[in-house]
């Protein structure tokens, strides 16, 4: 199968069509008409086999995750995802693999009304690069740099399950099959918090998605905002599986540094705190206050109202 036959067979048939896309897949470039009174936010993420997902991951999960991690970045800006482009490198043309991979891509695209508008296909070691575009009202978007001392620190969902599933796959911990199947979806099929991002845009002072671990990603907010933070370890939202599978100390460490959660971490002022919690409750998004921003320019942790030191190293792309 030639490159353009591959593209035509697996990536041109999709149900989502945006009126702003004047020219999509099939030419040298896609053409998008500018949107009046809106900002376009753009992000790019690459997933490499054996680095960002285990080598035996199903192609449907790979397709889903490749889209999800990009939409999670869009969500952290408070934007609505609209279009993606896809650069796919595969060792060979495996029609069954490509069909399942495409299903994973398009299932998530259809759920969030996202159109695939183009990209590239090449032969080589398996890797997937997606560039995602989203929209926000003009000059209304979230960044990492807006946090101030006194702001409260929040996170959506639960932390640590994806990292626990990965530890099981690597043989670092042993879980019962029922427990592993419960949390594997957190690793293979993460759900980007798109609606939550749009809700918190009206209340939050800063935001980021948790991809490399809570401590690392909080560090990005602190550095960009020139602030520090205290994390209340007692408040970390841990799932029943995580609490049941690990000692309390190990569960907390995994929640702090495990990564692959793709939850939203954000800050909100005292004045906006009640409004934010109410809005997210109406949106059906679980959210937990896990600490507070301060002026220290360092990240500290407390347990039972006492300062405690823990190892908070998360994932690093280069070491």
Question: What CATH code is carried by the domain that includes residue 123?
Answer: 3.30.1330.10
**168 annotated among ligand-binding-site residues:** no
Four-CA torsion 230, 317, 87, 39, nearest 10 degrees: 30
Residue 268 lies in a domain: yes
Could you tell me which of 73, 76, 77 has the C-alpha nearest to residue 39? 77
The answer to whether 143 is a known ligand-binding residue is: no
Please indicate, yes or no, whether residues 93 and 211 belong to a single structural domain of this protein: no
Contact call for residues 208 and 74 (beta carbons, < 8 A) = no
pLDDT for the residue numbered 32 = 80
Looking at residue 214, its pLDDT comes to 96
Residue 30 CA to residue 63 CA, distance in Å, equals 21
Question: What's residue 18's pLDDT?
Answer: 83
Question: Are 127 and 159 contained in the same domain?
Answer: no
What span, in angstroms and rounded, lies between the C-alpha atoms of 10 and 289?
43
Beta strand pairing call for 264-268 and 152-156? antiparallel
| Residue 316 domain flag | no
Instruction: State the pTM of this model.
Output: 0.90
**Domain assignment of residue 313, yes or no:** no
* Residue 27 in domain: yes
Count other C-beta atoms under 10 Å from residue 224's C-beta. Answer: 15
Q: What's the whole-number mean pLDDT along residues 56-70?
A: 96
- Provide the percentage of residues in the chain whose pLDDT is more than 90: 79
Instruction: Give yes or no for residue 319 having a pLDDT over 60.
Output: no
What's the chain's average pLDDT? Answer: 92
| DSSP result, 125-189 | S-EEEEEEEEEEETT----SS---TT-EEEEES-BSHHHHHHHHHHTSS---HHHHHHHHHHHHS
Residue 45 among known ligand-binding residues: yes
106, 137, 168 — which closes off a domain? 137
Reported as a single tens digit per residue, the pLDDT across 106-122 is 999 999 999 999 999 99
pLDDT at 86: 96
Q: What percent of the chain has pLDDT over 70?
A: 95
- Amino acid 74: pLDDT: 95
3-state secondary structure of 306: strand
Phi and psi at 129, nearest 5°, equal -120, 125
The pLDDT, as a whole number, for residue 28 is 61
Q: Would you state the pLDDT for residue 313?
A: 63
288 is in an annotated binding site: no
Question: Could you say which of 137, 165, 194 is where a domain stops?
Answer: 137
Residues in CB range of 185: below 8 A, 6 or more apart: none
Q: Is 250 annotated as a binding residue?
A: no
Residue 184 labelled as part of a binding site: no
Q: Is the pLDDT of residue 316 over 60?
A: no
**119 is annotated as contributing to ligand binding:** yes
CA distance 82 to 27: 19
Same domain assignment for residues 265 and 289:
yes
pLDDT at 271 over 80: yes
Residues 121 and 197 in one domain: no
> Residue 146 domain-assigned?
no
144 in a structural domain: no
* pLDDT value of residue 2: 73
- Residue ranges making up the domain that contains 62: 3-137
Residues 6+ apart with CB under 8 A from 266: 142, 153, 154, 155, 200, 204, 205, 206, 207, 208
pLDDT at 318: 37
Same domain as 164, residue 114: no
Q: Which of 171-180, 220-229, 239-248 has the highest mean predicted lDDT (pLDDT)?
A: 220-229
- Mean pLDDT for the stretch of residues 263-275: 97
Cβ contact 156:279 at 8 Å: no
Q: Is residue 314 part of a domain?
A: no
CA atoms of 25 and 38, how far apart (whole Å): 24
Q: Is the pLDDT of residue 282 over 90?
A: yes
Q: From the centroid of its chain, how far is CA 232?
A: 23
**Which contiguous run of DSSP H or E holds residue 313?**
none
- Does residue 3 have a pLDDT over 90? no
- Give pLDDT, residue 139: 84
- Tokens 């790979």 belong to 62
Work out the average pLDDT over 4-26.
Answer: 79
Task: Assess if residue 193 is contained within a domain.
Answer: yes
Residue with tokens 């809005």: 279
Measured CA to CA, the distance from residue 195 to residue 172 in angstroms comes to: 35
What is the three-class DSSP state of 78? coil
Instruction: Specify the DSSP class assigned to residue 211.
Output: S
**Same-domain check for residues 183 and 300:** yes
Distance CA(277)–CA(275), nearest Å, equals: 6
The kind and range of the H/E element at 54 are none
Are 49 and 103 in a shared domain? yes
Residue 73 clears pLDDT 60, i.e. is over it: yes
CATH number for the domain harbouring residue 162: 3.90.650.10
pLDDT grade, residue 169 (50/70/90)?
Answer: very high
Whether the per-residue pLDDT at 25 is higher than 80: the answer is no
Are residues 10 and 99 both part of a single domain?
yes
How many domains in the chain?
Answer: 2
In the listed set 97, 113, 137, which residue is the last one of a domain according to the structure? Answer: 137
- Do 130 and 160 fall into the same domain? no
Same domain, 19 and 89: yes
Quick one: 62 and 173 in the same domain? no
| pLDDT at res. 21 | 80
Question: Does 211 count as an annotated binding residue?
Answer: yes
Q: Are residues 294 and 187 in the same domain?
A: yes
């Amino acid at each position: 199968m030639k490159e353009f036959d591959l593209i035509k067979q697996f990536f041109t048939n999709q149900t989502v069509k945006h009126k702003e896309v004047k020219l999509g897949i099939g030419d040298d470039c896609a053409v998008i008409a500018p949107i009046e009174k809106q900002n376009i936010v753009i992000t790019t993420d690459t997933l490499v086999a054996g680095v960002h997902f285990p080598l035996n991951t199903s192609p449907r999960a790979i397709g889903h995750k490749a889209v999800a991690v990009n939409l999670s970045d869009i969500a952290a800006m408070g934007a609505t995802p609209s279009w993606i482009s896809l650069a796919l490198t595969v060792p060979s043309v495996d029609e069954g693999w490509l069909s399942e991979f495409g299903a994973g891509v398009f299932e998530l695209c259809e759920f969030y009304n996202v159109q695939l508008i183009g990209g590239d296909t090449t032969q080589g070691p398996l890797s997937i690069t997606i560039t995602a575009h989203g929209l926000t009202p003009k000059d209304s978007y979230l960044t990492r740099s807006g946090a101030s001392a006194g702001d409260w620190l929040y996170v959506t969902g639960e932390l640590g399950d994806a990292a626990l599933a990965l530890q099981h796959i690597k043989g670092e911990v042993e879980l019962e099959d029922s427990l592993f199947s419960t949390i594997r979806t957190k690793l293979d099929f993460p759900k980007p918090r798109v609606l939550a991002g749009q809700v918190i845009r009206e209340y939050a002072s800063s935001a980021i998605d948790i991809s490399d671990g809570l401590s690392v990603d909080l560090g990005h907010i602190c550095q960009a905002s020139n602030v520090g933070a205290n994390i209340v370890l007692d408040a970390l939202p841990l799932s029943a599986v995580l609490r049941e599978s690990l000692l309390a100390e190990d569960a907390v460490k995994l929640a702090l540094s495990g990564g692959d959660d793709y939850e939203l971490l954000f800050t909100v002022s005292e004045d906006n705190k009640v409004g934010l919690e109410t809005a997210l409750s109406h949106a059906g998004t679980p959210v937990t206050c896990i600490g507070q921003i301060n002026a220290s320019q360092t990240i500290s942790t407390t347990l039972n109202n006492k300062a405690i030191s823990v190892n908070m190293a998360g994932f690093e792309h280069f070491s």
